[in-house]
Amino acid sequence: MREVGIPHPRLPLPSPGSEDDPAAFLAWLGQAIPTVAHLGIREMYRDGDALHWSLALTPSLNDKGTGFGGALAAQTTLLGWCWTTLWLRRRGLSRDVVVAEATQRFLAPVTGDYRLECLPEEAAGPERLAARLADKGRGRISLVQRLWCGDTLCLEARGDYAVLPET
């Protein structure tokens, strides 16, 4: 059980030249952030620069029988944190990541199981982050998250994620 004020142990970095196992990363994430076990995440996968989750709607239902905005906003924020953390891990870096700013636009009700995608707001964002980390030891990246229910775009979010200096 997690305790307030006690950091959770970091997940060991993958061996050089390999990537994180998505199931192992999600298992660790569920231990590090207890609410993850209640989000309904069914699968996590990468496609190029994008990170995707598929999710069940049931854990995030509101009183109207559609997706609860607060739960959906939390999921988009966490997906951006995961994108940044996994990006760092692929480069052999184990660093603290925090969300610095996040916004959401709710476009349509979420009426069934859905998928979330996260990718850099600008194609050059990851290269700029890498350069900033090499130069200053810290940096930021802007990411966009989109929630799709079938072919309907229901939510578009944006977040700035800060990579903190090594401690």
Give the span between the Cα atoms of 90 and 82, in whole angstroms.
Answer: 12
Q: What is the residue extent of each domain of the chain?
A: 43-95+111-163
Beta strands 97-106; 139-149: pairing state = unpaired
* Residue 76 predicted with pLDDT over 90: yes
Q: What pLDDT is recorded for position 17?
A: 76
Mean per-residue pLDDT, 83-93: 96
DSSP class of residue 151 equals: T
132 CB contacts (<8 Å, ≥6 apart)?
138, 139, 140
- The continuous run of DSSP H or E covering 116 comes out as strand 114-120
Q: What pLDDT is recorded for position 59?
A: 97
Lowest mean pLDDT among 13-17, 27-31, 79-83, 163-167: 13-17
Percent above pLDDT 90 for the chain = 93
The model carries a pTM of 0.96
Give the span between the Cα atoms of 43 and 102, in whole angstroms.
Answer: 23
List pLDDT tens digits, range 10-53. Answer: 999 988 878 899 999 999 999 999 999 999 999 999 999 999 99
Lowest mean pLDDT among 5-9, 95-99, 123-127, 155-159: 5-9
Fold of 43-95+111-163: Thiol Ester Dehydrase; Chain A (3.10.129)
